[in-house]
Amino acid sequence: MQRLRRLQQTIVQQRDQIARHNDYLLNEQRVAKAVFDRVAHSGCLDAPNIRYLQSPYALFNGDLLLAAYTPSGDTHLLLADFTGHGLPAAIGAMPLAEVFYSMTAKGYGLAEILREMNAKLKRILPVDMFCCAALLCVSAQRRCVEVWNGGMPDGYLQAALSGERTALTSQHLPLGVLRAEVFDHATQVLPMLPGDQVFLLTDGVIDTCGPNQQLFGVERLERVLDANRHPLQLIAEVEQALRDFQGQARDDVSMVQITSQLPAFLGVPAIVYSDSGQCSPRDWSASFEFRAPSLQQFNPLPYVLQLLMEVHGLRAQGPVIHAVLAELYSNALEHGVLGLDSRLKRDTGGFAHYYQQRKERLATLKYGFVRFSLQVEPIGESGRLLIQVEDSGAGFDVARVMARPLDLDRLSGRGVSLVRQLCPAARWAPDGRSATVEFSWGGLA
Amino acid sequence: MAVTSEVSADGSKLTIAIKGRFDFAKHQEFRDAYEELSPAPACVVVDLKDATYLDSSALGMLLLLREHVGGDDSDIRVVNSSPDVRKILGVSNFDKLFDIN
């Protein structure tokens, strides 16, 4: 009798202890979730052209979904899946999110962001942990999407007009596996018109397990994509298909869909500086010449833009200046220095060919330059900025290009027309080897 | 045994065979198969003939093994993988690190 009572006591004690531990654990996870959700699911995910669904395997979903506008109005979108799920998987998410937001805001491209993410994860994660990731840059203005996929299931680019669907297949090892020296940041560029959509998912979707240990799988997913009539319903339809399959998720499940949409206004706030606004350089000029070995591997835009944004009067126009400068630079590099013909980009096949050529010519580039000349001058309390972008290329027939109407719905030749829309004062030297744009502030517009 | 290992007579080749699901549950057994060998074998064969499934923690285990036997200089062959398993290895592009056939 005595022994039975002791046994009973022990059981009650242990039960209470387990309950207490479980409470602690859940509370810790709730706190972690609150912090993680703020870091991992913020940015511009609430934009009207982005829809997503994240359902957790355990208390919270350790997949990382980030979206942010670039200074020139494009959208960067990242969907990432660390080894494991829940809290342990979320640890690497913090540094990744930090790199994503800060570098996107400063105007870096996918290549630089990917290199930084990979190097950071390689440094901090144990050998057996890594991060599958898909990173996109959706540019409605340039009518294209740039994609890098390392270890994620196929994503899908769906053309609104033709209904054509292109798989965005993993071409790389996940982030955090390779040393920086051998990491491959090569991206794919595909045409994506306003209204076209990209759908991304984590493997939790296709690895969802049915009643007889069968996996949901890619074929079932693609049948849902085939049957979809209203893009806005797609995520709900996939969710319904998973339910009909009586699927049991074995991992975090995440899906995201983004529609290419021209920004209503380039009103993204410029980078905020912490100085009080008293130390703005108002009268200066500078010239930078980037030669072949630099052009091959260095993106000068973030630095030049950061310098320009020190001029307080220009900050309100930061997004437009960024978009114009980015366009002038890629025109100078691609059509000038590399001699690529933008007419190649007339159709989807040509688009791929164009970017293949770009890669090959850049890799073997020996000579050539792109030169930025910046001039900032005060005019009373106001002022203006002149930017000249020159290149070493053969130039182009300025008169013929200027005669074309602005902004046709074509894929090629977007650069000049975009610059003219954003900056009506843009002008080109008759030989087509240099362009000059002007921005004023303080009532001088 | 879900994980069996065998060292060639001259000690240069280690073969590790996995049976059933290759996931986190096999973590310890998989490590035990190679960690204590001295010197580390020059070549490791991972036989997945009887492996039905492979998850991301299994990929992590392969990375640990690779690190242990020389990293970039390692010689690891992943053999007899089923189409499903090969698909998983393919999505992760592990063929860039391992000799997969």
Contact A173 B96 (CB under 8 A): yes
Tens of pLDDT, residue by residue over A46-73, are 888 999 998 877 666 778 899 999 988 8
Mean of the pLDDT values across residues A130-154? 95
The model's confidence at residue A267, banded by pLDDT at 50, 70 and 90, is: low
pLDDT of A274 above 80: no
Distance from the A190 Cα atom to the nearest Cα atom in chain B, whole angstroms:
20
The pLDDT value recorded for residue A445 is 46
What is the pLDDT of chain A when averaged over all its residues? 87
Task: Name the least confident of A33-42, A149-158, B19-28.
Answer: A33-42
- With beta carbons under 8 A apart, name residues in chain B contacting A170: 91-93
**DSSP helix/strand/coil, A124:** helix
Distance from the B83 Cα atom to the nearest Cα atom in chain A, whole angstroms:
13
The pLDDT value recorded for residue A366 is 95
CA distances from A6 to A11, A13, A17, A180 (A): 9, 11, 16, 61
The pLDDT value recorded for residue A401 is 79
Q: Where in chain A is the domain with CATH 3.30.565.10?
A: 284-441
Q: Where are the domains of chain B?
A: 3-100
Q: Rounded distance, CA A312 to CA A105, Å?
A: 17
pLDDT of A229 above 70: yes
pLDDT of A409 above 70: no
Domain spanning A35-259: CATH 3.30.70.20: no
Distance from the A173 Cα atom to the nearest Cα atom in chain B, whole angstroms:
5
pLDDT of A165 above 70: yes
Chain A residue with minimum CA distance to B63: A128
The answer for residues whose C-beta is within 8 angstroms of residue A298's C-beta and 6 or more apart is A290
Distance from the A262 Cα atom to the nearest Cα atom in chain B, whole angstroms:
32
pLDDT of A292 above 60: yes
Six token digits for residue A191: 């045409």
Distance from the A104 Cα atom to the nearest Cα atom in chain B, whole angstroms:
26
Comparison of pLDDT for A444 and A435, the residue scoring more:
A435
Contact between A378 and A369 (Cβ < 8 Å): no
Chain B interface includes A84 (CB < 8 A) = yes
Q: Is A14 exposed, middle or buried (0-12, 13-18, 19+ CB in 10 A)?
A: exposed
The pLDDT value recorded for residue A396 is 84
What are the residues of chain B with a beta carbon less than 8 Å away from any beta carbon of chain A?
56-57, 59-61, 63-64, 67, 91-94, 96-97
Q: Which fold has domain B3-100?
A: Transcription Regulator spoIIAA (3.30.750)
Q: Given B56, B57, B93, which is nearest A173 (Cβ)?
A: B93
Comparison of pLDDT for A401 and A285, the residue scoring more:
A285
Q: Rounded distance, CA A387 to CA A111, Å?
A: 26
Q: Given B61, B91, B93, which is nearest A128 (Cβ)?
A: B61
Chain B residue with minimum CA distance to A168: B91
Chain B residue with minimum CA distance to A154: B91
Q: Given B67, B93, B96, which is nearest A127 (Cβ)?
A: B67
Q: Where in chain A is the domain with CATH 3.60.40.10?
A: 35-259
Contact A173 B97 (CB under 8 A): yes
Tens of pLDDT, residue by residue over A168-204, are 999 999 999 999 999 999 999 999 999 999 999 998 8
The pLDDT value recorded for residue A407 is 57
Mean of the pLDDT values across residues A146-174? 95
Tens of pLDDT, residue by residue over A103-112, are 998 889 999 9
Tell me the whole-structure pTM to 2 decimals. 0.84
Tens of pLDDT, residue by residue over B31-72, are 999 998 888 888 999 999 999 888 888 999 999 999 999 888
Q: Which CATH architecture has domain A284-441?
A: 2-Layer Sandwich (3.30)
The pLDDT value recorded for residue A408 is 52
Contact between A107 and A322 (Cβ < 8 Å): yes
The pLDDT value recorded for residue A270 is 47
pLDDT of A276 above 80: no
Comparison of pLDDT for A442 and A429, the residue scoring more:
A429
Q: Given B59, B67, B91, which is nearest A170 (Cβ)?
A: B91
Q: Given A81, A83, A150, which is nearest B60 (Cβ)?
A: A83
Q: How many CB pairs under 8 A join A and B?
A: 44
The pLDDT value recorded for residue A50 is 94
Q: Rounded distance, CA A147 to CA A143, Å?
A: 13
The model's confidence at residue A380, banded by pLDDT at 50, 70 and 90, is: confident
Chain B interface includes A197 (CB < 8 A) = no
pLDDT of A360 above 60: yes
